[in-house]
Structure 1
Amino acid sequence: MSRPVLDTPGGAPAAPWRPLLLLGGALLAAHLALLSGLHLDSLPVTPSLSRPLITRTVLAPPVPPAPSPPAVAPRPKPARPRPAPPPTQEQNPAPALAEYAPTAINSIANESAAAAPDNTPAAPPAAEPPAAAPAAEAHAPATAVPGSLRIQYQLYGEVRTLPYTADAELLWAHDGQAYEAQLEISALFLGSRRQTSRGQLTPEGLRPKRFGDKVRSEVAAHFEYDKGKVIFSANTPEAALQPGAQDQLSIFVQIASLIAAEPQRYPRGTAIEMQAVGPRESDVWRFVVDGTEHLNLPGGEQDTLKITRPRRQPYDLMVELWLAPALGYLPVRIKLTQDNGDFIDQQWRSSGPP
């Protein structure tokens, strides 16, 4: 039986498959012969990295020797107690508080002149400076307390831009040793207010002991001269007494006493300063002499000397006084103005014995 022969597209007979097998076997034999000729020991071998073991001996630092214990100082022997000294003579006790000096009055010049330069050569220093002269005693200002008097005032006032009128009366009475002053203001629908001052008369003027201020109930200030302080019944902090201290009512009479004694000492621009104690606290009032003024008042005409207490702080009360020489320099007009514009203006209407 004959084998089939594959026809090619061109019609020629196909080659048999045996030659292909022979060709593949020849190639395989050639590869095996090539591999068998190689020697594996001819390949380079990478040497292994090795490091020799090195040992080192570390020596510890030498231990310092222990310090020797400090030497103990011998304990000193206790000293023998000395006998107590004999008692010395007792010293004199401290003196009591001195009486307070009179009011200090400072004069302010209207114009200050510049000091002229000294062109004379300076004198050579003396071998020994001369001894200083003893200081002269301070001159106490003289006072002339006005006689007892009752003054009636017509009062004009304004509260929150609302005007009102009232009656006021100043009562001043003394017997040459003790005094009493009272200022009372009464207004319809507004009630009344009364201030009182009691104390002693001294060569330096008034020395108040108690000041009272009453609207509905009274509050008072007590002058304790032996302790040097003022105590307030309203339980407000105590105040230290200053020389020549006055209360807010006696200060008007004290200023009148000073100016009445020596009017020439109080020209225009002079300052009068003293402590003014109120019902709850104390302050220093400083008045400046403004000069003379002629007033036309409800009680008639009066020649006066005006003094003013200007404000030093925004809420201070400004006080203006017009003092009449015909009435012992007692005030014939008193104007008090608050910082908000409220004021009271007392104007003299009549005067006579108390």
Structure 2
Amino acid sequence: MAVQPAGQTGLARGHESAPPWRALAMLAAAVLGIHALVLSSSPARFGPGLDGAQQRVQPLITRSITPPPAQPPAAAPESAPAKPPTKPARPKPPPTQVTPESPATSYVAPPSSDLPTPGDTPNAQAAGSAPAEDAAALAAASAASAPVAPAGPVQTPVTAVALPESVKLEYKMTGNARGLTYHANAELNWRRAGALYDAGMRVSALFLGSRSMGSTGVVGPEGLAPIRFSDKSRTEVAAHFDSDKGEVSFSANTPTVPWVKGAQDRVSVFMQLGGMLAGNPAAFPVGATISMYTVGPRDADTWTFLVEAEEQLSLPFGELATVKLTRQPRREFDQKVEIWYAPSLGYLPVRNKITQSNGDSIDQQLSGLSKG
């Protein structure tokens, strides 16, 4: 028996076991058909189906949109800063005549502590009525803090007055000026005519000339009410009392001063003091004071006199028991004024001494008296 090679034997078996090509072609066609059926029957598993129009690529159209320029935000109008509420200040008291002899009195009413101030309300419930309440509070505060006008210069009330009839008093005068002593004659003329009076003082000295002061006015229930005061040396200056306007004016063009009831001048003050002592001596014991608003040729001041002990004087006129009143100077250039009144002569001034701040003085002592 003949033996075939091994390679040839396998090749022969392969040809014998391989299927025909037609069978392979049919198998391939069947597989393709199954795949086509699966793809066409289940499109939802792989995404939405696209129609022909959607399968075409659409052109991409773009446009540029330019935003409008941003407007800057409108600046909010600045509101005027609210003025902080001001507390009513205590006003300073108006300047008055200095009178250290009497206690100072305050005429300023303190602001009320019950007035509401802004920010004191606990909530905004009364916000609508706040402006009206604030206005009322400010008005009340202004009224409360308004200074009360002072009552005027201190005046001792006149309880009684007894003025003498017309009389002329003559004095011997001794003066000291700049270390030199001189002598002169002086006189006080007092005249009454019904409700009017006229008083004049005159001093004359050899080589020194003369000086006169005069007072004219009205006599009323409370004594003298001057209308005009004059002071004449080389020229004359005067003060005019205007009760209707409530002021005293000066011909020297110095500022006016208030007129007050009971005001006197530098001549009438001598007679008014004597009239008050004569009218009610018991009202002025030793240590009592009498204050009078006294007008000079250019200004006015309150003169306060201290009642001192009785004093026996030896005068050119004779021996007289007297009551002494002294006005002590309060300021640097004030005069010291001393007046001695004689009760036996109806409290006429029988001695007058005036001392200046530099030590110069005049001393007038009664030498003669004539009535009528």
Normalised to the residue count of structure 1, the TM-score between the two structures is 0.61
1:302 paired with 2:320, answer: yes
Deviating beyond 2 angstroms after TM superposition, the runs of 4 or more aligned structure 1 residues are: 62-70
1:153 aligns with 2:153: no
From 146, 161, 170, give the equivalent of 2:188: 170
2:355 equivalent to 1:337? yes
- Number of equivalent positions: 229
Shift of 1:326: 2.0
- Are the structure 2 counterparts of residues 107 and 305 from structure 1 closer, same or farther at C-alpha, using a change threshold of 3 Å? farther
1:286-317 C-alpha deviation (Å, 9 max, x unpaired): 11101210100011011100000001012100
**What SS is found at the alignment partner of 1:147?**
coil
Amino acid in the other structure paired with 1:288: L
Instruction: Using CA pairs under 8 Å that are at least 6 residues apart, name the structure with larger relative contact order, 1 or 2.
Output: 1
2: CA distance, partners of 1:214 / 1:66 = 88
Report the Cα distance in structure 1 between the residues aligned to 2:332 and 2:238, rounded to whole angstroms: 26
1:192 aligns with 2:210: yes
Of residues 316, 322, 336, the one that matches 1:318 is: 336
Q: Is the 8 A contact 1:146 1:256 kept in 2?
A: no
Q: Which residue of 2 aligns with 1:52?
A: none
Q: Give the aligned residue type for 1:142.
A: A
- Judge conservation of contact 1:157–1:343 (CA < 8 Å) in 2: yes
5+ long unaligned stretches in structure 1: 1-61, 71-105, 109-137
Residue 317 of structure 1 aligns with an amino acid whose one-letter code is: Q
Q: Secondary structure at the match of 1:255?
A: helix
Q: Which residue, out of 250, 268, 285, partners 1:267?
A: 285
Q: Distance in 2 between matches of 1:194 and 1:311?
A: 23
Identity %: 49
Contact 1:303-1:325 at 8 Å conserved across structures:
yes
Question: Match for 1:147: what amino acid?
Answer: E
TM-score by length of 2: 0.58
- Looking at structure 1, the residues matched to 180 and 204 of structure 2 have their Cα atoms a distance apart, in angstroms, of 17
Residue deviations 1:28-73 (CA, integer Å, cap 9, x gap): xxxxxxxxxxxxxxxxxxxxxxxxxxxxxxxxxx999657989xxx
Aligned-partner SS, 1:276: strand
**Aligned 8 A contact 1:147 1:328 in 2:** no
Return closer, same or farther for 1:67/1:306 CA change in 2, 3 Å cut-off. Answer: same
CA contact (8 A) 2:190 2:199 kept: yes
Return the alpha-carbon distance in structure 1 between the equivalents of residues 207 and 327 of structure 2: 30
Give the match for residue 227 of structure 1. Answer: 245
Whole-angstrom distance in 1 between the partners of 2:288 and 2:250:
32
Aligned to 2:235: 217
Larger helix percent: 2
The answer to whether the 8 Å contact 2:158/2:276 transfers is no
Shifted more, 278-287 versus 340-349: the winner is: 278-287
Deviation of 1:217 (Å): 1.5
Displacement of 1:176: 3.2
Paired AA for residue 352 in structure 1: S
**Shift of residue 323 of structure 1?**
0.6
Following TM superposition, by how much is the alpha carbon of 1:139 offset from its aligned partner in structure 2, in angstroms? 7.2
* Cα distance change on mapping 1:63 and 1:259 into 2, 3 Å: farther
2:217 aligned counterpart, secondary structure = strand
Q: Give 1:241-256 correspondences, 5 Å limit.
A: 241-256=259-274
Query: Deviation string for 1:241-290 (max 9, x for gaps)?
Result: 12310001000101111110000000011111111111111111111101
* Matching of residue 205 in structure 1 with residue 209 in structure 2: no
**Structure 1 position 288 matched with structure 2 position 306:** yes
5+ residue gaps in structure 2? Answer: 1-66, 76-100, 104-155
Contact kept, 8 Å, 1:185 with 1:193, in 2: the verdict is: yes
Q: CA deviation at 1:231?
A: 1.1
- Compute the displacement of 1:327 (Å): 2.1
- Which amino acid in 1 is paired with 2:317? G
Q: Paired residue for 2:258?
A: 240
Distance 1:233 1:300, change over 3 A: same
- 2-structure distance, mates of 1:160, 1:139: 40
SS at match of 1:252: helix
